[in-house]
Each structure stands twice: as C-alpha cells, then as structure tokens.
Structure 1
Amino acid sequence: MKILVIGPSWVGDMMMSQSLYRTLKAEHPDAEIDVMAPAWCRPLLSRMPEVNEALAMPLGHGALALSERYRLGKALRHKKYQRAYVLPGSFKSALVPFFAGIPQRTGWRGEMRYGLLNDLRVLDKPAFPLMVERYVALAYDAGRMKSARDLPQPLLWPRLQVEEQEKIETAAQFSLTAERPIIGFCPGAEFGPAKRWPHYHYAALAQQLIAAGYQVVLFGSAKDRETGEQIRQTLDEAGRRYCHNLAGETKLEQAVILLAHCHAVVTNDSGLMHIAAALNRPLVALYGPSSPDFTPPLSQQARVIRLITGYHKVRKGEAEQGYHQSLIDIQPTRVMEELTALLSQQERA
C-alpha cells in the first residue's frame, strides 16, 4: 500500500505525527509512507524509519497558490498512492491529494474541506484530548476509535534514530570534548519570553551543574543567540569555560545529533523539547502559560514542572523582560532535584 501524508509545518507537530506513521506501519507492514512537508523537516523525517521518502512542500505557510498545488498534485499521480492523510486543518492542505487523484483522502473536518477529503472525520475534542491521539486515531477506519480509550495502548510514541558514531563526530565538530558529560539547555520558545524560563534561572542551574562536573550546551535558532549569551555572561569566568552557546550555529540536523548526545536536557515548551523527547533523553520540561495537557513531551523519561493550571493565551508576561510569573516561580533548586533524580534513574537502568 502506498500512502501520502501531508505533514504539519511546526517542529513539535511534526514530531508528534511520527506516532501516526509508526501506527500505520504496525497496522500495514507493507505500507510505503511518503510525507510532504516543508523542506526544513527533512532532517527529522530522515530519522524516522517508517518514512519511505520526504517530499518537499515548496509553498509558504499562508499561500493558497491554487495553480501550483494543482501542478504538485498532478506530478504525484504516477506514484499511484492508495491513501492520503491530511494532518493540517486548512483547506489548502487538502488540495494536493485531491489533485493527485488519491482514492481515499482522510483527515479531520477543518476549513471547508468537503469533497476534497472523502474520508472526513468529525473530531470530538474531549474524547481525544491529546494531539498525538488525534493523529493516531486517523490510522483506523472511521468510527472504529470513538475515544482515546479505544486506541491500542501504549501508543507508539515518536522515536528518532541517531547512530553513536554520528554523535562523536558532530561533538568533535563543535569542540565538545568527552571530558565532561553534556547537559543540553533549550532556552528559547517560538512565541517569545512569556514561554521562557528566565535566563538568570538557567544560569543559576548551569552554575550548579558545572560545579557538579558537567558541561552545558545551549541549543536554539539564531533568534535565541542573545538569550544564550545572557546565560553565559551571568556565569562566573570559570563557569563560562564549560558553557557553550550553539544557538544559531547548528543546523537542525546537527542539533538533533547533539541532543541525542546529551546526558539530559532542560527545556522550555518548544519544538526542541519534542525532539529531545523523541530521542528518549532524560528531560525536564518547564511550562508556564502554555499547557502540557494537549502537547506534552512524549517520553517516560520526561518530567514536567508547571505551577499553574489551565491554558493562558499570553504572548508577553507581566514581569520584567516579558517573563511570566509562573515560570519565574520555578526555582533552579526544584529543577536540579528533578534532573538529579532522572540522572540517577538513568545510571541504575
């Protein structure tokens, strides 16, 4: 069976979509699964053994580009896909499988997609509270899974593959020695400082970890470079020697490999959090106004710290530098306790 998936455009969503691919392969071992997604997703899709081919979606996030989508769909007809799964909820995301003439086109009802999808599901959100559950439910015939309780347990969570030799070679590229084990920090967040644990808390934790014999590596995009420098400059001179700011210096492929090389990861609610979870690293995830009730880190080795409940749509926190008070209130000592417990558990395993 040949399957086309129209994948998500966000890092976290792309990671969670792997649970659908794993489930499809478990249900249909002969399936060939191709995923169409933005080109930047290729480093993630290439590490998902269930994915046969990553197809680049060349169109921007907001572009309808009807004629271009028609051209893309027509170009896929020779592949003779039997099924398509459309994960985004937009009208335009359903166009390529329709134009490709794929016989069965499955997805949740979204933005006026009647006709474009001929296996259109109506989502009962309370019945499937997690995004990953909503993805996995699409793998089964319509009506078979009426709630998350009907899904086979345990769910097949995302798992990226990284080879040991890749870790060693990539660490050497960035002059990360084996002298000290690495703790990764992911101090950025897509929607600004309200979702970030304060840089001074990260610095205090880094100081404790360095004193305990670790080195700290800071991950993120170029937008997170400044935050990483704030963390480094808050450390004493001896501490800065063992704190490496790689935000903006690594490609996504390299960041994935280096995260796999970490002994543990401390992170905000971000796409890198979901990557670290899929690499099965001991993980402490720090939440403020965003909620782990919908998109938690999918790993038995993850610990979530959050001091408030509910979802709060906040783009700028009420405290100094735009931080949210609930994240300020998470003290470095609390994070260190969770991290120490995870590392001890890892050593015993």
Structure 2
Amino acid sequence: MKVEAKKRILVLRYRFIGDTILTVPFLRNLRRAEPDAFIAWVVAPGSAEVVQGIPYVDELIFWDPPTIHADSRSTHRTFRDKVSFIRELRARKFDKVYVLKRSLSSAIMAILSGARERVGFDTEGRGFLLTKRVPYRHDQHEVQNFLDVLRADGVKVEDDHLEAWLTEEERQFTEDYFLRAGVAADEPIVGIHPFSANPPRAWHIDNFIEVARRLQENYGARILFFGGPRDEEALPALRAGLTTPPLFAVGKTTLRQTMALLSRCKLLVCNDSGIMHLAASMQVPLVAIFGPQSPVKFGPWGENSRVVYSAFQCSPCRQKFFKECEPTERGRPECVEAIDVDAVFTQCTTLLDSRRERG
C-alpha cells in the first residue's frame, strides 16, 4: 500500500518583531486545519526569537537580506547568497505557499520556490504571480488580514488570540532578577517603555515620568523601565524624576529576558513599539500611546489592551516629520503632544482596578 506523502506548506512573513508576533494566530489555525502537514515559516533571524518554542511549525527558515532595519544581520548579502537560498527552498519541494508579506519580492520568492499553489494579498501589482488572490484591507487589524488569507483558502478560523512561550530557565531568570532587586512576591510591577526607534513618534519622557509617579502614589507600584542600549542616556532623567527608585532593564537584557520580565508585570505603559506587541502576546495588560500611526492596523491586539490616540486631519501621517507639520516646543508632532497625562493615567487605572476586582 502506497503511503501518501505529507503536504508541505511554506509561510512567508519575515521582518519586524510585531509582524512576527501577529502571525501566530494564522499559524495556529493553519496547524489545526492541517495537523499532518509539514509547515515551514520563513522569518528574519532576529525577530524569530520572540516565537521561540512555537508548536505550530516544523521548521523556521531564516531569510536575512540587507535592509535598513535594526533586526537585519545581512546573512544573504550577495546575489550568490540569494540564489543559494532559493535553491534550498526549491529543494524542499513545497506544495503550497502562503504569502503574508505584501511586497513584490515576496511573491517572486513564492513562485521561485516551485510551489504549485500560491495564496496571498493582491497588492503591488503582483497578483499574476499568485494562484489565489486575497484583497488586503487597510480598515482592519493585521491579525484579521492574515486570517483572511486562510478564510479565502477555505480554512476555518476558530480563534485569533496571541501567544508566546517561555522556558523554565527564563522564568527562573525573572524570579532571580526580582529577588536580587528586593521585590516582594506580591508587589505590583508596572513596566514602562518610554522610547521609540523613531524619537518624534515617542510621547515625551516627562509625561512617562509623571504617569510613573502617579502609579507609585496610587498603587504602590514598583516601576520597571525597559529599553535598549542606546536609551541608557535617559537613565539620569528617569532616576531624578521619581522619589521612589525604579528598576531598570534598559540595555541590560536580551529580547527573551525582556519577555520574561514582562510576564511579571501587572501593566505596561508604552509607545507604539515592538515591546507593545510582546506584552500583548503574553496577555499583559497595557496602555499604548499612538501619535502619527493609526492603531487600526497595528495597535495592540487583545482584550486587556488600551490605546490613547489623538487623531488629526492628517492622521495617519506619512511620518516625514516636520516637513509636513511643525514641531512643538518639546520637539514632537502636535498629534503626540496633544495626548495628556490624565488620559493615559485614566486608562491605567481602568486596567489595574479591573484586575484588582478580579483578584
């Protein structure tokens, strides 16, 4: 009796921590529909760290051409590197490719893979490269856009929540970290990420300090600041702004360690950033501050997420800052400056009080 070969499925959605996290519901529903298939996912090596331990794929394939983005390591720099990658992809003999990126290059990668079925968004004039074209919507969240690709392919979508996975070693790191910091087991930790890769998009640091002060005074919260190595220059201002000394995981933790520390937080207050999606994937209640970019497509996804957003006539903007608008006295676009501390703190109290009521 001839044994039928496993269906082989490839998913293309690489680059960016947020986009990687938002792909998880797609993969979970795909695995549920195709429990016996071999599923591989093309991802960027840096952002792939956030989905370490994912049970829905059999293989992560790293694609890493040079880009201006921070997570690029330029593994596939030369033309020879790229050709070699495509040859390796073709050797895997995939039957179907889901193209969740909207670029022309990703559709070209799909057809070069040799897969007979290619399902993806009908964008950037690339529809002729696909065997099934899916309309892309700008008026709904990216999670639902990804799931629309499954729906268009006749796959039942049963849920849409985010997920993340921690190892026992990472959980132990969290316990040790707070033990060394003298934090009691029942002490509420509130994470704050006041930074942004693009500084004009960030709410002013003085506003974050004021929110932190109110959280200390009203909830006895221990404040934990998150950030990267280049954000360390802000530490003196953060220390000076609070009477109760905060904790700092700024430039001191890996991406996975940051996820582990987030898991202990009762709340995260942040800008529109990758850490926002990390917290949402771990079901950490969060308040996200959006200025130039609309939260409709890329806002935090989950029931415990709140967005504070001040929409202007020019929102969402093209983010050519201070060419199409004037900076405020504090060097921010007006849409960011218009968000006041009271509005953000109100959302914080809503989430913390509801959690307190639930025990």
- TM-score, with structure 2 as normaliser: 0.83
The structural deviation recorded for 1:77 is 3.5
Report the 3-state secondary structure (helix = DSSP H, G, I; strand = E; otherwise coil) of the residue aligned with 1:20.
helix
Q: Is the 8 A contact 2:17 2:48 kept in 1?
A: no
Matched, 1:232 2:263: no
Distance 2:228 2:108 in 1: 31
Matched, 1:166 2:166: no
Matching residue of 1:129: 140
Once the two structures are superposed, residues 307-346 of structure 1 have per-residue CA deviations (whole angstroms, 9 ceiling, x without a partner) of 3254123335621342233333433333233222212222
Segments of structure 1 that go 5 or more residues without pairing to the other structure are 146-150
Matching residue of 2:43: 37
Distance 1:119 1:220 in 2: 43
Matched, 1:249 2:239: no
**Counterpart among 165, 177, 183 of residue 178 in structure 1:** 183
Distance 2:57 2:240 in 1: 42
Paired letter, 2:97: A
Closer, same or farther: CA 61–3 of 1 in aligned 2, 3 Å: farther
Closer, same or farther: CA 141–336 of 1 in aligned 2, 3 Å: closer
Matching residue of 1:346: 355
Paired letter, 1:94: A
**Displaced runs of 4 or more, over 6 A:** none
Matching residue of 2:267: 264
Paired letter, 2:296: D
**Counterpart among 68, 76, 85 of residue 81 in structure 2:** 68
Q: Is the 8 A contact 1:70 1:96 kept in 2?
A: no
Report the 3-state secondary structure (helix = DSSP H, G, I; strand = E; otherwise coil) of the residue aligned with 2:84.
helix
Once the two structures are superposed, residues 224-275 of structure 1 have per-residue CA deviations (whole angstroms, 9 ceiling, x without a partner) of 3334543333223xx2x2x123222221111111112211101111111111
Matching residue of 2:346: 337
Identity of aligned residues (%): 25
Q: Is the 8 A contact 2:12 2:42 kept in 1?
A: yes
Distance 1:169 1:79 in 2: 38
Q: Please tell me the root mean square deviation across aligned C-alpha atoms, in Å.
A: 2.7
Matching residue of 1:103: 116
Closer, same or farther: CA 325–112 of 1 in aligned 2, 3 Å: closer
The structural deviation recorded for 1:124 is 4.9
Paired letter, 1:140: R
Matching residue of 1:148: none
**Counterpart among 53, 59, 66 of residue 59 in structure 2:** 53
**Counterpart among 212, 223, 228 of residue 216 in structure 1:** 223
Distance 1:66 1:304 in 2: 43
Report the 3-state secondary structure (helix = DSSP H, G, I; strand = E; otherwise coil) of the residue aligned with 1:249.
coil
Distance 2:266 2:46 in 1: 26
- TM-score, with structure 1 as normaliser: 0.85
Matched, 1:156 2:160: yes
Once the two structures are superposed, residues 190-228 of structure 1 have per-residue CA deviations (whole angstroms, 9 ceiling, x without a partner) of 3222x2111011111212223332211111222333345
**Counterpart among 71, 82, 87 of residue 100 in structure 2:** 87
- Number of aligned residue pairs: give it: 335
**Counterpart among 131, 155, 168 of residue 119 in structure 1:** 131
Distance 1:35 1:124 in 2: 21
